[in-house]
Amino acid sequence: MLGYSSIIVPGYLLIRYFRRINYAETGDGVCAPVIKACVFGSESKTSSLDDSPVAPRNEGDSGSTYKRVLKLLFCATGLQASYLTWGVLQERVMTRSYGATAAGEEGEKFTDSQFLVFMNRILALTVSGLWCSLFKQPRHGAPTYKYSFASLSNILSSWCQYEALKYISFPTQVLAKASKVIPVMLMGKVVSHRSYEYWEYLTALLISAGVSMFLLSSAAHKHPSTATTFSGVVILAGYVVFDSFTSNWQDELFKHKMSSVQMMFGVNLFSCLFTVGSLLEQGALFDSLGFMARQSEFAFHAVLLSVCSACGQLFIFYTINQFGAAVFTIIMTLRQAFAILLSCFLYGHAVSSVGGLGVALVFLALFLRVYARSRMKSGKRSAPQPRVEKV
């Protein structure tokens, strides 16, 4: 945390200072445009008619339901493919040795997961930066420092997730992950003052219950169950809160006129600053670079892992931009069930009756969600328009 604080505290003090002296009106010099963009943004210009349009997230008025379904399937498939591949590569990097020889000489293991996070973020930052440079983007309106909130909350949620595993049982972890849809919707009311229909809460509950039943019945026996302690529950609650905040804050930032690639650039910019500060403070950056120089196979795997992460981030930001934080969370929640279903299909594992009931609940919830949304849209279209009296 010392590495993060060495960036957060000076940044906070500088923002307070520039706002106190009203730098947006009085600032001048070579660095003035950069400081104004970072601290103040250009919200007053976002409604200008000459701004480049951004494809806004909507509820289906701009296109047919068929196109929206295809777009949702595209997002879901991209997320599943990116992160399933990413998970396989991450397990290879963190659990296997590099440099082992046929003569029996043991290799060495790579242990610093934070360096992998830095590698993922630096590649995503480079790709998004090149994209923004080569292709025309909307005029940016949000103050740059606001991206740091999503970046920091994402880092904290990851830390809480790994730390909680030391103090909670596997069923508790599964229930928390499968039930994230409800906290995400509640956080949406806090961050964005978003309102949800009753059927959205009902379908979220059904999806959470169905995924929990399926995961617990299919995988609980494969994992050791430790006692759940109060500390574990508190850390797990922190994971749920930070993770819910991340997607909702990104959803809120999209209200400023920006593209998914601009969002990707802003979030990864601060993620790189936070991780490199922490790595330098711990003295782990140069050790990891030395390991990469010694083991060319690890360097290849690290780059491939970063490519999968960058592709996954593109799908994350595009999905949140188009469909919102709640739908994105539903897709990522179902990813766990899809992974187990794929394992059952490939290796012939049986699905218990409780797991089958859970799958049925999930599909029932998804059907109800689609049906209720289509009824709501048709009701809006058939509603009588108010008469305008001519004078």
The 10s digit of each residue's pLDDT in 308-366 is 888 988 898 888 888 888 888 888 777 767 766 666 666 565 667 887 788 788 778 87
So what's the pLDDT on residue 340? 66
* Region 82-103 average pLDDT: 76
So what's the pLDDT on residue 227? 59
**Residue recorded with tokens 């949702």:** 72
Are the beta carbons of 272 and 121 closer than 8 angstroms?
Answer: yes
Amino acid, res. 67: K
Above 70 in pLDDT, residue 32?
yes
So what's the pLDDT on residue 59? 44
**How far apart (Å, rounded) are the C-alpha atoms in residues 148 and 8?**
9
So what's the pLDDT on residue 126? 92
Above 80 in pLDDT, residue 246?
yes
Interacting residues of 287 by C-beta distance below 8 A, sequence separation 6+? 112
Are the beta carbons of 117 and 313 closer than 8 angstroms?
Answer: no
pTM, to two decimals: 0.70
So what's the pLDDT on residue 225? 53
Above 80 in pLDDT, residue 124?
yes
pLDDT tens-digit map of 290-312:
988 988 888 998 899 889 888 98
| Mean pLDDT over each residue of the chain, to the nearest integer | 77
Are the beta carbons of 152 and 54 closer than 8 angstroms?
Answer: no
pLDDT tens-digit map of 37-88:
777 776 543 433 333 434 444 444 445 677 888 888 898 889 888 887 877 7
So what's the pLDDT on residue 50? 37
- Among 188-192, 207-211, 285-289, 387-391, top mean pLDDT goes to 285-289
Task: Identify the band that residue 2 occupies on the pLDDT scale cut at 50, 70 and 90.
Answer: low
Tokens describing residue 219? 């995988």
So what's the pLDDT on residue 274? 86
3-state SS, the chain, equals: CHHHHHHHHHHHHHHHHHHHCCHHHHCCCCCHHHHHHHHCCCHHHCCCCCCCCCCCCCCCCCCCHHHHHHHHHHHHHHHHHHHHHHHHHHHHHHHCCECCCCCCCCCECCCCHHHHHHHHHHHHHHHHHHHHHHCCCCCCCCCHHHHHHHHHHHHHHHHHHHHHCCCCCHHHHHHHHHCCHHHHHHHHHHHCCCCCCHHHHHHHHHHHHHHHHHHHHHHHHHCCCCCCCHHHHHHHHHHHHHHHHHHHHHHHHCCCCCCHHHHHHHHHHHHHHHHHHHHHHHCCHHHHHHHHHHCHHHHHHHHHHHHHHHHHHHHHHHHHHHHCHHHHHHHHHHHHHHHHHHHHHHHCCCCCHHHHHHHHHHHHHHHHHHHHHHHHHHHHHHCCCCCCCCC
Are the beta carbons of 204 and 147 closer than 8 angstroms?
Answer: no
**How far apart (Å, rounded) are the C-alpha atoms in residues 70 and 252?**
24
So what's the pLDDT on residue 102? 62
What is the chain's alpha carbon radius of gyration, rounded to the nearest angstrom?
23
Higher confidence at residue 231 or residue 296?
296
Lowest mean pLDDT among 26-40, 182-196, 230-244: 26-40
Higher confidence at residue 342 or residue 250?
250
How far lies 239's CA from each of 113, 236, 251, 267, 333, in Å? 18, 5, 19, 19, 15
Above 60 in pLDDT, residue 221?
no
Nearest alpha-carbon partner for 355 in 251, 212, 250, 233: 212
Higher confidence at residue 232 or residue 242?
242
**How far apart (Å, rounded) are the C-alpha atoms in residues 26 and 372?**
53
